[in-house]
Amino acid sequence: MMKEAKMRDLTPDLRQRFAAIADHLIPACGKMPSASSVGIAGAVLDQVVQARPDLLTPIVRGLRACEGMAGAAAAESLHHDDPEAFDALSTAASGGYLMQPVVRELIGYPGQERVESPDPYATPSYVTDGTLKRVFDRGPVYVPTPGRKREAHGGTIAKDLK
């Protein structure tokens, strides 16, 4: 088993391999940029690994195993032979990609935002705006409890509904 990797293990060569694999996973397409064009293998990768240090060891292991391979072949090889490394690489690539403001702008995702908490004592709008009116009008509907008489139930039996 490989010992725990350190940030310094991400050599320029391994970062280049990471960029090639990331571009195979997230290529340029229509208005969307490729992973490498948003700097995926540089500061972005550092930022991802700082947030998810558990990804570093499988990433380094996977990249070392792909020496001499093109991005597509490396991705396919890891997907088949080392799913844990593939998951780490793909999570880092997509996570880093989606952290970039240019990407967020293009997909319309602003990121985590503070949302005002609704008043817990207020009557929910779906009760007052008529959304549930036909349910209130219809009344309760039951599936009979085994062993109890129909008369014991206070509403319509489900299978009697037309």
Partner 1 sequence: MRGAKWAVLPNGGPLSVSSIAGSKVFAGSALKETWGENYHRNLEQRLGRCMVVAIIGEDLPYETNRVVLDDKLTDTDGIPAPKIHYRVDENCRRLLTFHEGKVEELLVACGAVETMIVHQIRDSGWHLLGTACMGDEPSRSVVDRWCRAHDVPNLYIIDGSVFTTSGGVNPTATIMSLAMRTSRHIASGRRDQEAA
Q: Which of 30, 120, 140, 147 is close enough to bind partner 1 by CB under 8 A? A: 30
Closest to 59 measured CA to CA, from 107, 106, 7? 7
User: Which one of 7-15, 19-27, 56-64, 125-133 is the stretch in contact with partner 1 (CB under 8 A)?
Assistant: 19-27
Length of the chain equals: 162
CB of 30 to partner 1, least distance (A): 7
Residue 161 engages partner 1 in binding (rule: CB under 8 A): no
- As measured in angstroms, the least distance from the Cβ of 8 to partner 1 is 27
DSSP letter assigned to residue 145: P
Task: Give whichever of 1 and 107 is closer to partner 1, judged by the CB atom.
Answer: 107
Distance from C-alpha of 152 to C-alpha of 144, rounded to nearest angstrom: 9
Tokens of 110: 């602003």
Q: Which of residues 75-114 bind partner 1 (CB under 8 A)?
A: 75-76, 79, 87, 90-91, 94-95, 98, 107-109, 111-112
- Give the span between the Cα atoms of 11 and 3, in whole angstroms: 17
3-state secondary structure of 29: strand
- For the bound state, the minimum distance from the C-beta of residue 90 to partner 1, rounded and expressed in Å, comes to 7
